[in-house]
Amino acid sequence: MLIGTATSAHQIEGNNVNSDWWHFEMKGRLKYRSGVACDSYRRYADDIKLMKKLRLNSYRFSIEFSRIMPDRYSIDYDAIKHYKSVIADLKRNGIEPIPTLWHYTLPFWFYRLGGFENSGNIANFIRYVKLLLKEGIDTKYIITINEPMVYAIKAYLNGRYPPFKHSFRTMLRVVNNLIRLHNELYTLLKKEGYTVSFAKNLLYFGKISKVYLPFGFSEYYYNKRFIKHSKIDFLGMNYYHNIDVFKTVRRKNKKTDMGWTIYSRGMRSLAEYYYHTYKKPIMVTENGIATGDEVLRGEFITEHVNTLVDMEKSGISVLGYHYWSLLDNFEWDYGYTKKFGICYVDSKSKQRIMKSSASVLKDLALKYG
Ligand code: BGC
């Protein structure tokens, strides 16, 4: 099985100056600034060394659209070269590169044109992807979109992410445009021979067959609808926690620093349900915990990986597991206050220091990777 970690460009690279997030960070519209983040745009080779040391065999990361196309009609070929080097370096080290084409941040020009509210922008996104394909992205897997529902809700309903809107109708429009975008990308990428999915955040609301209104509504609209209307080769699943609507979980489950309850059985139920419904292999594209408690993080990782191993034994096809995240990084509207990493990053020197949970993931990678 693939065992590795996941990151995203804006959260680790630093100086993502052409993005909408950077713009609003500078304006003070967002509480925190990402700044140099983990400086991974420059230090990616250090990150890969770290993964190698940890014997990980997979890495999910994102390509930053706003670096590749800083303006509507300009292309930064150095940025393309950069990501090609990242991919080549990963491969040299025996690590499967799994790039995501879009993880929340948009080029500022794209945002000004209406982001994904504007269906006309689908063509602009396709232009970006065609460009990448022309230059050659040498990977087996590609993830098109990260967490379309989380994005649409936080950006268009809760107003926590740019463009800070509160409109149910606009949110639905964005979701539908993202479904269209994903399916167009799928067709394009399949022609080139890639194995394709999105990374879908799934929440466990309770036993799926028993879910009733209004949570049936959530189950359908939050979890299922995007999957149902999309073409995929495997199901990329980001799983963090459950929302115990029926109070069925007897054990007093621990909570993470995000206030999320730890419940690996939710991951199992969701994976089983979606595997049997759509017959596509499952890849955990993110799973993680924000905590300062390394014992708890270690237990969390072990519990989730063991659950996947067990699921494999029961006949479910599981492609891999990606812990979120390799490094403590920029946690969006929480800034640097939430610690998901298996490694610290020294705020001044940017040196990476392994936490004890890193060796837990290493042992699991040695055993199952
Ligand atoms: C996102 C990541 C984020 C993580 C922890 C996921 O929803 O894809 O960008 O850092 O959750 O909140």
Q: What is the dihedral of CA 305, 310, 315, 317, to 10 degrees?
A: 0
CB-based contact 298:332 (threshold 8 Å): no
Q: How far is CA 58 from the centre of its chain?
A: 14
How many A from CA of 9 to the centre of ligand 1? 12
Q: How far is CA 61 from the centre of its chain?
A: 8
The total number of structural domains that make up the chain: 1
How many A from CA of 93 to the centre of ligand 1? 26
pLDDT at res. 35: 98
Crossing angle of helices 40-53 and 77-92, in 10° steps, is 10
pLDDT at res. 280: 98
- Report the nearest atom of ligand 1 relative to the CA of 331: 10
Strands 195-204 and 141-146: parallel
What confidence tens digit (pLDDT) does each residue in 114-130 have? 999 999 999 999 999 99
pLDDT at 185 over 90: yes
Strands 195-204 and 58-62: unpaired
What confidence tens digit (pLDDT) does each residue in 254-302 have? 889 999 999 999 999 999 999 999 999 999 999 999 999 999 999 999 9
Give me the DSSP letters along 31-52: S---TTTT-HHHHHHHHHHHHH
Q: Taking every pair of C-alpha atoms in the chain, what is the biggest distance, in angstroms?
A: 56
Residues 6+ apart with CB under 8 A from 32: 25, 330, 333, 334, 335, 336, 337
CB of 201 shorter than 6 A to ligand 1: yes
How many A from CA of 290 to the centre of ligand 1? 10
Write the CATH number for 290: 3.20.20.80
What confidence tens digit (pLDDT) does each residue in 228-256 have? 999 999 999 999 998 876 666 555 678 89
pLDDT at res. 24: 98
How many A from CA of 287 to the centre of ligand 1? 9
Tell me the C-alpha to C-alpha distance, in Å, between residue 248 and each of 45, 185, 221, 258, 280. Answer: 46, 40, 22, 21, 28
Confidence category of residue 314, pLDDT binned at 50, 70, 90: very high
pLDDT at res. 215: 62
DSSP 285: E
What is the pTM assigned to this prediction? 0.97
- Report the nearest atom of ligand 1 relative to the CA of 334: 12
Determine the residue of 324, 325, 337, 339 to mutate for testing ligand 1's pocket, defined as the one with the most ligand atoms within 8 A of the Cβ atom: 324
Owning domain of residue 265: 2-368
How many A from CA of 73 to the centre of ligand 1? 30
CB-based contact 274:237 (threshold 8 Å): yes
Q: Which SS3 state, helix, strand or coil, does residue 20 take?
A: helix
Tell me the C-alpha to C-alpha distance, in Å, between residue 20 and each of 109, 113, 117, 153. Answer: 8, 12, 15, 17
Determine the residue of 331, 336, 339 to mutate for testing ligand 1's pocket, defined as the one with the most ligand atoms within 8 A of the Cβ atom: 331
CB of 287 shorter than 6 A to ligand 1: no
- Report the nearest atom of ligand 1 relative to the CA of 146: 8
CB of 331 shorter than 6 A to ligand 1: yes
**Ramachandran region, residue 355 (left: φ > 0; alpha: ψ -120 to 50; beta: rest):** beta
- Report the nearest atom of ligand 1 relative to the CA of 8: 9
**φ, ψ (nearest 5 deg) of residue 222:** -80, -50
CB-based contact 175:226 (threshold 8 Å): yes
For the four alpha carbons of 236, 242, 243 and 248, in that order, the dihedral sign comes to positive
Distance separating the N- and C-terminal Cα atoms of the chain:
5
Q: State the DSSP H helix or E strand holding residue 61, giving kind and residue range, or none if neither.
A: strand 58-62
Which residue has the CA at smallest separation from atom 9 of ligand 1? 8
CB of 150 shorter than 6 A to ligand 1: yes
DSSP 208: G
